[in-house]
């Protein structure tokens, strides 16, 4: 049953093994790795996907206590060894082409940086680097880059230059911090720096979005619950900066909108703000995710017990943006909005926002099935309206309903006329 989830599980194991702050965490990761290798057939492939794994296990054998060292040796034995013929075949293929690797293979978190052609065999001595890492897949014809210190060079030892190169190096460095569990104290500053960098980059930052979104979400998971609203706000800022470019990477963001999960007022406000920027960036079209977002927004309204109802006011603004997508979901939204038209439980400013939200929805989608409930509540509100501004908003909403209902609105005209005369 675990086989379909081995990639995600292996990523978690690698993060735990890299965490130098917790020996029990590393021990648990080793046991999990050993069990996966023994019972799920997870052999050889971890060395291919994570070339640094063997080095990490070897260091644990040398430096850790006897229990951890023994478990690391068990993991090495369970994972097995890479077939040496694969490496020999790749080496002979490179020799027949008259080229050689010319340097160490640099690997990043998920992909190696591409470089220029390797040095010829006759020049190998002058440009030789460390021997190739046998834990890396060598069957690719692509020529790789060499990492010397923190500077990426091509196979001839010449440094790359240019604006895009420096951007890439900077973003890679910050992503390494965000992905490192031992650097949790620096995660907030790293996330802030990353989002600030993407603003001026505009479309040049698009190639990095596929790694930035998971990195920020991972940092959010490792952070204390009190910091969750900070990361949600940064994700909202990232959506604002990237707009349509971020659409392919939005799937994990919608998992944050859990209508059942409790949250602080600050976190709920930050999540509602994320809905706002998502709706604005995608022009109100959230697709199938609207069925996830709307229950969350309704739950925010139901849970808001603050006298000022500031979170509710912000939620109403989000619903106004989403109003063109509410066709088929009025049964979920409209009863909550009608219940807010009660001055005994709702502040006047929130009531005014509710009227604006209802008007926007009525203009965007067909609300005939809820017309009677809305109009009767508006008449009651008109009767007890304490301000002229609120009366005007109620009448404007009635006019909006009249434009949609056409002849059917005449049924309510006598009641509205009687109320207007009393006022």
- Strands of 203-282, DSSP E: none
Instruction: Identify which of 221, 295, 213, 296 has the alpha carbon closest to the alpha carbon of residue 252.
Output: 213
**Per-position pLDDT tens, the chain of length 423:** 677 778 888 888 888 888 777 788 888 888 888 888 877 777 777 777 777 777 788 888 877 777 888 888 888 778 776 655 543 443 344 344 443 333 433 333 333 334 433 433 333 333 344 444 434 433 344 444 444 444 444 433 444 555 677 788 888 888 988 988 888 889 999 999 888 888 888 777 888 889 999 999 999 999 998 899 999 999 999 998 888 888 888 888 998 988 777 678 899 999 999 999 998 888 767 878 898 899 999 999 988 888 888 999 999 999 999 998 898 899 999 999 999 998 888 999 999 999 999 999 999 998 888 999 999 999 999 888 888 899 999 999 999 999 988 888 888 888 888 888 776
- pLDDT given for residue 117 in this prediction: 38
Contacts with 250 (C-beta within 8 Å, 6 or more apart), sequence order: 278, 289
pTM (whole model) above 0.75: no
- pLDDT given for residue 59 in this prediction: 82
- Rg of the chain over all Cα atoms, to the nearest angstrom: 30
C-beta of residue 139 within 8 angstroms of C-beta of residue 86: yes
- pLDDT given for residue 83 in this prediction: 57
C-beta of residue 182 within 8 angstroms of C-beta of residue 19: yes
Helix (H), strand (E) at residue 297? helix 290-303
- Alpha helix stretches (DSSP H) within 136-186: 163-178
- pLDDT given for residue 31 in this prediction: 87
- pLDDT given for residue 162 in this prediction: 58
Instruction: State the residue for tokens 């978190």.
Output: 109
* C-alpha dist (Å) from residue 323 to 340, 354, 361, 397: 17, 13, 5, 15
* C-alpha dist (Å) from residue 122 to 95, 97, 99, 142, 159: 11, 13, 9, 20, 22
Cα 207 to chain centroid, rounded: 15
C-beta of residue 372 within 8 angstroms of C-beta of residue 398: no
Residue 119's SS3 state is: coil
Quote the CA–CA distance of 204 and 198 in Å, as a whole number: 8
């Amino acid at each position: 049953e675990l086989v379909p989830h081995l990639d995600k599980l292996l990523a978690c194991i690698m993060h735990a093994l890299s965490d130098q702050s917790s020996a029990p965490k590393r021990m648990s990761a080793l046991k999990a790795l050993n069990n996966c290798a023994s019972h799920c057939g997870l052999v050889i492939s971890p060395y291919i996907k994570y070339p640094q794994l063997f080095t990490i296990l070897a260091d644990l054998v040398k430096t850790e206590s006897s229990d951890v060292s023994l478990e690391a040796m068990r993991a090495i034995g369970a994972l097995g060894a890479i077939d040496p013929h694969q490496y020999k075949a790749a080496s002979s293929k490179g020799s027949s082409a008259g080229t050689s690797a010319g340097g160490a293979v640099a690997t990043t978190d998920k992909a190696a940086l591409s470089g220029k052609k390797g040095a010829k065999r006759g020049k190998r001595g002058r440009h030789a680097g460390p021997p190739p890492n046998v834990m890396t897949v060598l069957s690719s014809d692509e020529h790789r880059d060499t990492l010397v210190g923190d500077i990426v060079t091509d196979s001839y030892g010449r440094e790359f230059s240019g604006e895009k190169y420096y951007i890439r190096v900077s973003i890679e460095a910050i992503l390494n911090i965000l992905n490192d569990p031992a650097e949790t104290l620096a995660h907030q500053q790293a996330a802030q720096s990353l989002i600030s960098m993407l603003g001026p980059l505009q479309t040049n930052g698009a190639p990095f979005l596929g790694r930035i979104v998971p990195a920020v979400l991972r940092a959010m998971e490792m952070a204390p619950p009190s910091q969750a609203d900070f990361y949600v706000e940064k994700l909202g800022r990232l959506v604002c900066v990237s707009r349509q470019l971020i659409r392919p990477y939005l799937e994990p963001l919608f998992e944050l909108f859990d209508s059942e999960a409790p949250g602080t007022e600050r976190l709920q406000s930050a999540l509602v703000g994320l809905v706002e920027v998502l709706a604005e960036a995608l022009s109100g079209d959230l697709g199938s995710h609207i069925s996830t977002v709307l229950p969350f927004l309704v739950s925010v309204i139901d849970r808001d017990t603050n006298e000022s109802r500031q979170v509710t006011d912000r939620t109403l603004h989000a619903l106004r943006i989403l109003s063109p997508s509410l066709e088929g979901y009025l049964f979920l939204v409209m009863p909550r909005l009608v219940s807010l038209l009660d001055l005994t439980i709702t502040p006047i400013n929130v009531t005014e926002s509710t009227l604006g939200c209802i008007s926007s929805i009525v203009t965007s989608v067909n609300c005939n099935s809820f017309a009677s409930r809305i109009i009767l509540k508006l008449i009651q509100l008109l009767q007890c309206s304490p301000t002229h501004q609120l009366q005007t908003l109620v009448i404007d909403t009635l006019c909006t309903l009249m434009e949609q209902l056409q002849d059917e609105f005449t049924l309510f005209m006598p009641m509205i006329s009687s109320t207007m005369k009393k006022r």
